[in-house]
């Protein structure tokens, strides 16, 4: 094989996987229709949200979103390159700097074109911030990865695995609830609005750790005959113990409204966890994470732009995922 053919071999490899996976995911016309409707709604929601914002606020919001997208894309591309160099078919290419650069450049080129297209639809004047912010995000991902790699060398005893194992035990939920209640006791002195904010943000942060989903565990349980519901129930034991302590405790300390916020935020995180389980039953980790990111973003947008449609859209999304994931039980794939 000549050098010219090898130039974009890594990219062609992943492009082929991506296009085949998308084709398989949206094989039926109903799937394509649902995807098209969701995409249209997402773009419409974004356009609606940004159009009403004052110019400076839109500039900051657009910059922050583009920065986040750039960082996420940068991390995905680097993680993919690390996979290629360790377990991939084309490790020789993934280890050579010129090929690595072309691979990174090609994916970020696609990222910039997509982001520019969306920006042009949503609010064209934001182009001056979206593309530079994306590039800064991608650069930051590269710099943080360079720092993270030497630190990983110190990680010989794998304390993170022990912590992850404990986070699946109901006692972790009780501990997290006690932490939240202690914080809320303190926040009570700062006024009712601050306490409400503490209740919401604190719940999201703590339950993020409690609802962590291990893709390989989901895959194993699927092969072993666990249905989606059973996996979700098993993974939600920690969250249940958190809610059982945090909601009544919050009601006693701050009243009904903050307790409602804790319950609602917990329900939101439960939904996110269930969505990840369904996605991991259907796809590999990378693709599933991107899918969950897109769907969660879409639901947030719908909730913001057309809140009355949120239950219907959320039900449609979960029904679609569950419908496809149900067929995977017992399958050795």
Interface with another protein, residue 225, by CB under 8 A: no
Q: Are 60 and 51 in contact (CB under 8 A)?
A: no
User: What's 238's DSSP letter?
Assistant: H
- The yes or no reply on residue 5 touching another protein (CB under 8 A) is yes
Give the shortest CB-84-to-another protein separation in angstroms. 10
Q: Which of 268, 259, 249, 242 is nearest to 199 (CA)?
A: 259
Nearer to another protein by Cβ, of 34 and 282: the residue is 282
**Residues within window 133-162 making contact with another protein, judged by CB under 8 A:** 152-156, 158
> Is 20 a binder of another protein (CB under 8 A)?
yes
Q: Which of residues 155-194 bind another protein (CB under 8 A)?
A: 155-156, 158
Least separation in angstroms between residue 63's CB and another protein is: 35
Report the nearest approach of another protein to the CB of residue 1 (Å). 4
CB under 8 A: which stretch of 27-35, 61-69, 84-92, 132-140 binds another protein? 84-92
Closest CA to 221 of 87, 325, 83: 325
**Segment contacting another protein (CB under 8 A): 13-21, 64-72, 220-228, 236-244?**
13-21
CA distances from 117 to 20, 127, 131, 189 (A): 23, 9, 11, 48
Q: What is the DSSP string of 224-236?
A: TT--HHHHHHHHT
Q: Which is nearer to another protein, 44 or 82 (CB)?
A: 82
Is residue 24 a contact point for another protein (CB under 8 A)?
A: yes
What is the distance, to the nearest Å, from the Cα of residue 81 to the centroid of all Cα atoms in its chain?
A: 20
Beta carbons of 179 and 206 less than 8 angstroms apart: yes
Q: Does 333 bind another protein (CB under 8 A)?
A: yes
88 three-state secondary structure: coil
Burial of 295 (0-12, 13-18, 19+ CB in 10 A): buried
284 counts as binding another protein under rule CB under 8 A: yes
Asked if 285 touches another protein (CB under 8 A), the answer is no
Q: Residue 85 and residue 96: Cα distance in Å, rounded? A: 10
Does 88 contact another protein by CB under 8 A? yes
Q: Which is nearer to another protein, 82 or 136 (CB)?
A: 82
CA angle 48, 49, 50 (to 5 degrees): 95
Q: Counting contacts by CB under 8 A, is residue 13 touching another protein? A: yes
Q: How far is the CB of 85 from another protein (least distance, A)?
A: 7
The reply to whether 224 sits near another protein by the rule CB under 8 A is no
Question: Whole-angstrom Cα distance, residue 215 to residue 177?
Answer: 26
Q: Could you say whether residue 16 binds another protein (CB under 8 A)?
A: yes
Footprint of another protein (CB under 8 A): 1, 5, 9, 12-13, 16-17, 20-21, 24, 85-92, 95-96, 152-156, 158, 284, 332-333
């Amino acid at each position: 094989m000549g050098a010219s053919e090898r130039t974009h071999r890594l990219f062609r490899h992943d492009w082929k996987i991506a296009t085949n996976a998308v084709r398989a995911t949206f094989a039926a016309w109903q799937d394509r229709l649902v995807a098209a409707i969701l995409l249209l709604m997402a773009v419409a929601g974004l356009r609606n949200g940004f159009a009403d914002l004052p110019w400076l606020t839109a500039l900051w919001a657009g910059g922050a979103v583009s920065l986040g997208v750039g960082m996420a894309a940068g991390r995905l591309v680097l993680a993919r390159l690390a996979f290629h160099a360790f377990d991939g078919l084309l490790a020789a290419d993934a280890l050579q700097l010129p090929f690595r650069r072309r691979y990174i450049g090609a994916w970020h080129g696609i990222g910039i074109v997509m982001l520019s297209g969306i920006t042009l639809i949503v609010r064209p004047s934001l182009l001056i911030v979206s593309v530079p912010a994306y590039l800064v995000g991608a650069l930051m991902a590269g710099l943080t990865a360079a720092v993270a790699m030497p630190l990983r060398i110190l990680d010989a005893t794998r304390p993170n695995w022990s912590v992850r194992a404990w986070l699946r035990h109901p006692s972790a939920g009780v501990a997290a609830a006690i932490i939240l209640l202690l914080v809320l006791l303190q926040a009570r002195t700062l006024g009712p609005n601050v306490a409400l904010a503490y209740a919401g943000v604190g719940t999201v942060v703590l339950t993020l750790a409690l609802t962590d989903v291990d893709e390989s565990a989901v895959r194993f349980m699927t092969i072993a005959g666990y249905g989606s519901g059973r996996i979700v129930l098993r993974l939600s034991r920690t969250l249940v113990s958190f809610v059982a302590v945090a909601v009544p405790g919050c009601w006693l300390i701050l009243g009904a409204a903050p307790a409602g916020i804790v319950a609602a935020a917990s329900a939101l995180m439960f939904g996110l966890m269930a969505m990840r389980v369904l996605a991991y039953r259907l796809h590999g980790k990378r693709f599933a994470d991107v899918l969950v990111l897109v769907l969660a973003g879409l639901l947030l947008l719908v909730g913001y732009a057309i809140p009355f449609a949120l239950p219907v859209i959320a039900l449609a999304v979960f029904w679609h995922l569950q419908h496809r994931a149900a067929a995977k039980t017992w399958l050795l794939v």
